[in-house]
Amino acid sequence: MYPSDSDFFGSDSDVGFPRGDDLDFLDDDSEADEDRPQDKRIAELSREDIMQLQFTDEEAVYRFYKTYAMIHGFAVRLDEVKRDSDGSVIMRQIVCNRAGSRKEMVKKDERIRDHRPLTRSCCPARIRARLDTKIQQWKVVSFYEEHSHELVAPLDVSMMPEYRTFSVSDKAQAKNLHDIGIRTCHILGYLAAQKGGYANLPFNQKDMYNLITQYRKEKVKGGDANAAISYLRGKAGNDSYFFGKYTLSNENRLENLFWADRTSRIDYECFGDVLTFDSTYNRNVYNKPLVIFSGSNHHGQTVVFGCGLLLNEDISSYKWLLETFLEAMGSKHPTAVVTDGDLSMREAIKQVFPSATHRLCAWHLHRNACEKVKNSGFLRDFKQLIYANVSVEEFEVRWEDMVARYNLSSNSWVIQTYEMRNLWALAYLRDQFFGRIRTTSQCEGINSLIKAYVRKKDTLLEFINNMETVVSHYRNNERVAEFNSKYTAPVLVTSLPTLEDFAAKTFTRKMFREVRKEIEGACAMNTEVVIQDGEKLYFKCNVFGVPEIHHVVEFDRVQGILRCECKWFENRGIPCMHIFACLKHQHVEVIPESLVCKRWTKNAKSDFMKSNVDDPSDSDKVLKCRLGVLGAECSRLMDLACKNSSDFVEAMNSVVDTITKLQKRGENPRNANLDDDCVGDPLVVKSKGAPKKNSKFKQQRKCSNCGVTGHYNKSCPNAPN
């Protein structure tokens, strides 16, 4: 890979030798003379010229011959040497690197790999120089010009192993790109583009892979798990609200790992009502399953609550993970959980989050359907049915229709999916709040981001770093959305401007757009009061032109509570168009407080920070909030104080003063078990690939007559007749 000969002189391989063909390294203190070989370019030197050359030292001879070789298309290596009685070199022979022949014995049978191709071919080309002690100069004593082989074309010289090398900047760029999760082949392409093509790279693809491999080994010296744990420990040192925990096997190897940083924990406090799990496989060198805990923030964007690596996918691993998650989140339970349907995860959720509603990820479900049922008509109708906002009775009718229409009543996947309909059909789940999770774009988004940033062969440390890149990507999106929501105002377009204006001021921009859709819908609705019961009103709403479909809305004027039978608000936290139609009918100009879902408002996060700073009842929460508020102020300080040096010095001094003052008052509490010592790498789990798609439904079907597996009702031996 590197020109090993140059190591002889202890020179850094990054420095390399001059590629120019001027003899500027020759000793030259006399005046110029037209005929002296010193004044010619190396390419023009004849054998006679070279025989007259003199050099200051041995290294100069080597550099000369190496440059000569590069120009002519061969490579060199150091050969014979003679020393005087003091041990200093007085003669050196440098040969074409194809001189000589391979000495090692060829044993055909025992080798797995092919023999390295032969390069030596007894080439006689060489230079020999000797120190002339009288003048203290090195003189060429013999020079063979002819080779026994073809020389390499000038353009291809850079492909010879002897001349391939990385410059300092190429190395640094490659390492930086690797650190942010770029694949090695893309790094190579990037550097090639910089230099105007692959032909101009002074190294090849294999060199690049070797460089990266070596770099990765350096990073995890002393064990990958150790490096990963000490990295997390370092994070915990900078972020006192960082949480990390792991378990070890009997042989002191890493088994399970969970971590969440400060922002994740604050996000969960604000938006932890709906929790999504995603398991990914084969995304690290140990083939351990990765679980990502995520949810959606007030802008409907994905927020990551934490990440876990599991030894395996059994119930006890998942239980450990969920319990650790709860520990990190101050025991706050989610109200709803969305998963991809893994059976042991489902069981663990039942045990750890007994009160949470469980729902299957519609994106995963639809993807499974695509694999199991190859019928585009069915797939389209099935997708509609997942999201159909209808009553349970209507769902059943539609399902039967659909199965009959596509003749799928005997399809086992269809049967099994129907049996779990209460886990995926909106008709069964619409009383439950799921936020925007049902749109599934979140799940899809996480999967594609992980694919982009996390590489299959990642070590633990790289994997943790790459996950941080993914998370910071999301957090940056939140900052942008937060800014747009706060500092810009939408143009009002509906014919109910007071309601629309109120919504624009209250909700984040993304949620405002959804509310506006409902307001627009309300404009085209007919509403009539059907019953008046004291202060309670019952309305019937229908869309203009569709009188046969109507929804009933209940309006309690004293309490300011509106309820619609479509349950849109219960499910998504957004008032439906029927409710807006009633507000319009009653000339209500603001959205009643009971219909403003806090988690979708602009202040969902900032209010939380402010209101909880001094709540003595929950010390954990207080700590969290103080950190959030402090963090926000500190980053403002950083922005201001970095602009000029006097501001910087002033800010620095007062920060350091404050820190020393506070440090004297008490020590920081320690973090979970991140302070433990020495952790062995996890064993590589034999790859079993991504779980087979149907494994989620492998529950064996029981006979409905006798309850035994292995046969169905029709063939039941215990049937009455």
254 is a site residue for Zn ion (CB under 5 A): no
Q: Please give the helix or strand (H or E) that residue 278 lies within, else none.
A: strand 274-280
Name the one range near Zn ion by CB under 5 A: 139-147, 254-262, 407-415, 628-636.
Answer: 139-147
CB neighbour class for 679 (10 Å; exposed up to 12, middle 13-18, buried from 19)? buried
147 is a site residue for Zn ion (CB under 5 A): yes
Instruction: Please report how close the Cβ of residue 45 comes to Zn ion at its closest, in angstroms.
Output: 17
Name the one range near Zn ion by CB under 5 A: 83-91, 128-136, 141-149, 326-334.
Answer: 141-149
C-beta separation of 541 from 553 below 8 A: yes
CA distance 472 to 470: 6
CA distance 271 to 436: 12
Name the one range near Zn ion by CB under 5 A: 94-102, 197-205, 327-335, 685-693.
Answer: 94-102
CA distance 563 to 648: 56
Among residue numbers 107 through 126, which ones bind Zn ion (CB under 5 A)?
123, 125
Nearest to 342 by CA among 691, 701, 593: 691
Instruction: Please report how close the Cβ of residue 536 comes to Zn ion at its closest, in angstroms.
Output: 17
C-beta separation of 399 from 363 below 8 A: no
Buried b (16+ CB within 10 A) or exposed e, 118-137: eeeeebebbbbbbbeeeeeb
Structure tokens, 294 = 């995520």
Q: In the complex with Zn ion, which residue's Cβ is closer, 63 or 364?
A: 364
Nearest to 128 by CA among 120, 117, 136, 139: 139
Count the alpha carbons within 13 Å of 9 in the hemisphere toward its beta carbon. Answer: 18
Instruction: Please report how close the Cβ of residue 280 comes to Zn ion at its closest, in angstroms.
Output: 10
152 is a site residue for Zn ion (CB under 5 A): no
C-beta separation of 293 from 465 below 8 A: no
Out of 188, 254, 576, 583, the residue judged to bind Zn ion by CB under 5 A: 576
Instruction: Please report how close the Cβ of residue 307 comes to Zn ion at its closest, in angstroms.
Output: 16
3-class state of residue 599 by DSSP: helix
Q: In the complex with Zn ion, which residue's Cβ is closer, 123 or 425?
A: 123
Q: In the complex with Zn ion, which residue's Cβ is closer, 125 or 352?
A: 125
578 is a site residue for Zn ion (CB under 5 A): yes
Q: State the number of binding residues for Zn ion (CB under 5 A).
A: 15
541 is a site residue for Zn ion (CB under 5 A): no
Instruction: Please report how close the Cβ of residue 696 comes to Zn ion at its closest, in angstroms.
Output: 11
Name the one range near Zn ion by CB under 5 A: 337-345, 398-406, 621-629, 633-641.
Answer: 337-345
C-beta separation of 542 from 550 below 8 A: yes
Q: Please give the helix or strand (H or E) that residue 96 lies within, else none.
A: strand 89-96
Mask for 421-450, x = binds Zn ion (CB under 5 A): ----------------------x-------
What CA dihedral angle connects 654, 658, 661 and 664, to 10 degrees? Answer: -130
Out of 340, 342, 462, 468, the residue judged to bind Zn ion by CB under 5 A: 340
Out of 60, 95, 96, 225, the residue judged to bind Zn ion by CB under 5 A: 96
Amino acid at 466: N
Name the one range near Zn ion by CB under 5 A: 42-50, 105-113, 305-313, 334-342.
Answer: 334-342
Instruction: Please report how close the Cβ of residue 214 comes to Zn ion at its closest, in angstroms.
Output: 31
Q: In the complex with Zn ion, which residue's Cβ is closer, 96 or 504?
A: 96
Instruction: Please report how close the Cβ of residue 392 comes to Zn ion at its closest, in angstroms.
Output: 17
User: Which residues touch 90 (CB under 8 Å, ≥6 apart)?
Assistant: 82, 83, 84, 130, 131, 133
Name the one range near Zn ion by CB under 5 A: 84-92, 188-196, 355-363, 709-717.
Answer: 355-363
Q: In the complex with Zn ion, which residue's Cβ is closer, 235 or 438?
A: 438
Instruction: Please report how close the Cβ of residue 499 comes to Zn ion at its closest, in angstroms.
Output: 15
CB neighbour class for 501 (10 Å; exposed up to 12, middle 13-18, buried from 19)? middle
Task: Convert 212-253 into a string of H (helix), E (strand) and C (coil).
Answer: HHHHHHHHCCCCHHHHHHHHHHHHHHHCCCCEEEEEECCCCE
Name the one range near Zn ion by CB under 5 A: 309-317, 333-341, 387-395, 584-592.
Answer: 333-341
72 is a site residue for Zn ion (CB under 5 A): no
Instruction: Please report how close the Cβ of residue 149 comes to Zn ion at its closest, in angstroms.
Output: 6
Mask for 73-92, x = binds Zn ion (CB under 5 A): -x------------------
Amino acid at 670: R
Q: In the complex with Zn ion, which residue's Cβ is closer, 284 or 527?
A: 527
Backbone torsions φ then ψ of 553, nearest 5 degrees: -115, 135
C-beta separation of 458 from 283 below 8 A: yes
274 is a site residue for Zn ion (CB under 5 A): no
364 is a site residue for Zn ion (CB under 5 A): yes
C-beta separation of 687 from 282 below 8 A: yes
Instruction: Please report how close the Cβ of residue 518 comes to Zn ion at its closest, in angstroms.
Output: 9
98 is a site residue for Zn ion (CB under 5 A): yes
Q: In the complex with Zn ion, which residue's Cβ is closer, 575 or 628?
A: 575
Out of 275, 470, 522, 564, the residue judged to bind Zn ion by CB under 5 A: 564
CA distance 85 to 69: 32
CA distance 342 to 358: 12
Among residue numbers 153 through 192, which ones bind Zn ion (CB under 5 A)?
none
Instruction: Please report how close the Cβ of residue 126 comes to Zn ion at its closest, in angstroms.
Output: 9
Instruction: Please report how close the Cβ of residue 286 comes to Zn ion at its closest, in angstroms.
Output: 23
Q: In the complex with Zn ion, which residue's Cβ is closer, 334 or 628?
A: 334
- List interacting residues with Zn ion (CB under 5 A): 74, 96, 98, 123, 125, 147, 340, 361, 364, 443, 551, 564, 566, 576, 578
